[in-house]
Amino acid sequence: MTIERAFVRIKEGQVHYRRTMEEIGGRPLVTLHMSPVASSFLVNLLETLDDGTRRLIAPDTLGNGDSAPLFKKVAEIPDFAEALGRVLDALGVDEIDLYGVRTGSMIATELALQQPDRVKRLILDELTVPGPARSTGQVGVPCPPPDAIGSQFDWAFHVMKDHWAFYPWWSRDAEHRNPWDMPDPMELHDQAVAVLKAIRTFGNAYQAAMKWDRDSRLPHLKVKTMVLHEPTGAIYPDMRPTAEVIPDCVYRELPPGDTTQPAKARTIMAWLNEG
């Protein structure tokens, strides 16, 4: 199937999303990207998830990518989840399965808490307990305002590079160095462009994510939930503490050493197809 781009309108304006075009009877799978990028980050995942059994929908979080921002200047993660619910209403989508990575997993959690009858299965990816803001006492360096020498262009590229090099990205030292190779420069370029498109507003979701109290919210989940974990512990956040705080959580391991989008997609689809 072909993954295409489209827009849907809510009260804030147009929301950009990616989708599979074919109408399929299975329950749709909605996928939510991390901050500060957009749904373009999930294209490789979507291509592997696309097995012809269900529709795939990947919106740009409000204020990210090509989506209009929330009206609220200072928003919280529940605000982004409420807006996602309105996006799904506008698309005519009722029951869904829901995947999120990092900030996307926070928004997914809040939607599952707000609308447990809508979210039938929830997949959380790279959502650690506790979060890096608590362990480091920082939330990163804010984006500089656009200026006459284009400082924001250099900033956006290097922040995306550091997202791959370190976890969290603002802890640029050996202790926080990720042990994988850097992505292709064109991939870094595409991610930096996604950030630059929303240079005025992407930080709203990012700051909301840093303030979200994952420790107190996750234990309230009542929907079927799975977390992904890479068992070698060398190149992936330890998701076992996350699984332990979620009632009746399903814990699935990725292939050792493999945290690629296709590996994640295969693990996700195997669980969803269990019925």
pLDDT in tens, 38-88: 999 999 999 999 888 899 999 999 999 999 999 998 899 999 999 999 999
Most distant CA atoms of the chain, gap in Å: 56
pLDDT of residue 1: 61
Q: What is the mean pLDDT of residues 220-235?
A: 90
pLDDT of residue 132: 59
Q: How far apart are CA 154 and CA 152, in angstroms?
A: 6
Mean pLDDT of the chain: 90
Q: Which of 238 and 142 is assigned the larger pLDDT?
A: 238
Q: How far apart are CA 146 and CA 267, in angstroms?
A: 41
Helix (H) or strand (E) holding 16: strand 13-20
Q: Which of 167 and 192 is assigned the larger pLDDT?
A: 192
* Residue 113, CB-side half-sphere exposure with 13 Å CA sphere: 21
Give the residues across from 227 on adjacent strands.
Answer: 124, 251
Give the residues across from 119 on adjacent strands.
Answer: 96
241 cis-preceded (ω within 30 degrees of 0): no
Beta pairing, strands 250-253 & 224-229: parallel
Taking phi first (over 0 means left), then psi (-120 to 50 degrees means alpha), and beta for anything else, what does residue 90 get? Answer: alpha
Name which of 22-26, 59-63, 143-147, 194-198 the model is least confident about: 22-26
pLDDT of residue 180: 76
pTM of the predicted structure, to 2 decimals? 0.93
Q: Which domains does the chain have, with CATH numbers?
A: 3-131+201-272 (3.40.50.1820)
Q: How far apart are CA 187 and CA 195, in angstroms?
A: 13
Q: How far apart are CA 249 and CA 242, in angstroms?
A: 9
Percentage of the chain lying above the pLDDT 90 cut: 65
SS3 track for 233-244: CCCCCCCHHHHH
What is the distance of C-alpha 245 from the center of its chain? 20
Query: In this model, does residue 217 exceed pLDDT 60?
Result: yes
pLDDT of residue 257: 86
Name which of 17-26, 50-59, 197-206, 221-230 the model is least confident about: 17-26
262 cis-preceded (ω within 30 degrees of 0): no
pLDDT of residue 28: 95
Q: How far apart are CA 237 and CA 221, in angstroms?
A: 21
pLDDT of residue 135: 46
Q: Which of 124, 86, 94, 78 is nearest to 244 (CA)?
A: 124
Q: What is the mean pLDDT of residues 1-8?
A: 89
pLDDT of residue 235: 66
SS3 track for 182-201: CCCHHHHHHHHHHHHHCCCC
Helices and strands counted in the chain (H then E): 10, 8
Query: In this model, does residue 234 exceed pLDDT 70?
Result: no
pLDDT in tens, 184-193: 899 899 999 9
pLDDT in tens, 116-157: 999 999 999 999 887 655 544 455 667 788 899 999 999 999
Q: What is the mean pLDDT of residues 161-185?
A: 84
